[in-house]
Amino acid sequence: MTRIIIGLFLWGMFLTVGFAQDNYKLVWSDEFNQDGLLDSTVWNYENGFARNEEWQWYQSDNAYCKGGCLIIEARKEKRLNPIYQEDSKDWRSSGEFIECTSSSVTTAGKKEFLYGRFEIRARIPVGKGAWPAIWLLGNSMEWPSCGEIDIMEFYRKQGIPHILANAAWGTDQRWVAEWNSKAIPFSHFLAENPDWASEFHIWRMDWSEEAIRLYLDDELLNEILLTDTYNGVIGKKRNPFMQPQYLLLNLAVGGINGGEVSEEAFPMRYEIDYVRVYQQ
């Protein structure tokens, strides 16, 4: 018994020292504990068709707080596209109808961060065509020189589900990004836990002046060294990951990466338990 007590004491000391070395303090969080709309002093709602030739029309109705979670729903609903133009070459206005709706929320212009530990606990939809994401963008330049960090993306690559952890920055060509991307087959996680899709998981980013490290349930998925992430000439050779970024949470459907969409996947439900940001 004495050995057990000493062992537990030493293990507790180890944990205490470990946490002390990290020296992280909570600087901001949203626990989504207030039912109803998001806090408008922190969050914005995107509206309309946004990017990547995705199916969904973004609107605020599809994001709400309930039971301690932010819930983002993608719903199959057909209605007239208000920006439809006959003979339009733009994918946003060329279709007569909206095929489904969803939500994308951002902290742009209201809450920005430079370095720290980011933790997001969430349960994601994995139906065919679902494309949930947790990501960050800078606002000092146009994409990709502004920098993009994808803490989490889920979609199908060549029909096979993957979880991705990425970063992108600018090159010498406008709208052409340099990517550091890791795509892990979803089967890797299912092999460890067949119930993975029905459970909540913690995505984490440790972002410092040296590196961006992206984790899922404490498993390191990708490490991006900031010595490698300087923009090209369009981005004035600056490093976008040494500048503040804002947060985005969205559920896209189909599009360039979301791929083919299954009717049976609707309604898709993306649940975020909390977002927490720590800094040293």
Do the Cβ atoms of 268 and 73 come closer than 8 Å? yes
pLDDT at 209: 98
- Residues linked to residue 257 through DSSP beta bridges, in sequence order: none
Q: 75 by DSSP, 3-state: which?
A: strand
- pLDDT mean over 100-122: 98
| 15 confidence band (pLDDT: 50, 70, 90) | very low
Distance of CA 239 to the CA centre of its chain: 21
Two structure tokens written together for 158: 């060549």
Q: 94 by DSSP, 3-state: which?
A: helix
Task: Name the CATH code of domain 24-279 (choices 3.30.565.10, 3.30.1490.20, 1.20.1600.10, 2.60.120.200).
Answer: 2.60.120.200
Do the Cβ atoms of 254 and 261 come closer than 8 Å? yes
**Catalytic-labelled residue, pool 153, 199, 209, 271:** 153
**Catalytic-labelled residue, pool 54, 73, 119, 148:** 148
pLDDT by residue (tens digit) across 229-248? 999 999 999 999 999 999 99
pLDDT at 106: 98
| 72 confidence band (pLDDT: 50, 70, 90) | very high
Boundaries of every domain in the chain:
24-279
Specify the pTM. Answer: 0.92
- Residues linked to residue 58 through DSSP beta bridges, in sequence order: 48, 102
Name the nearest CA neighbour of 275 among 35, 37, 38.
38
Is the pLDDT score of 5 beyond 90? no
For 250, residues 6+ apart whose C-beta sits below 8 A from its C-beta are 46, 58, 72, 102, 103, 104, 105, 132, 133
Positive or negative, the Cα torsion across 49, 53, 55, 61? negative
Do the Cβ atoms of 239 and 229 come closer than 8 Å? yes
Active site residue 53: no
Name the nearest CA neighbour of 36 among 7, 70, 13.
70
Q: What is the dihedral of CA 220, 224, 226, 227, to 10 degrees?
A: 120
Could you tell me whether strands 69-80 and 97-102 are parallel, antiparallel, or unpaired per DSSP bridges?
Answer: antiparallel
Active site residue 99: no
pLDDT by residue (tens digit) across 170-199? 999 999 999 999 999 999 999 999 999 999
Burial pattern 129-168, b for ≥16 Cβ within 10 A else e, equals bbbbbbbbbbeebebbbbbbbbbbbbbbeeeebbbbbbbb
pLDDT at 22: 77
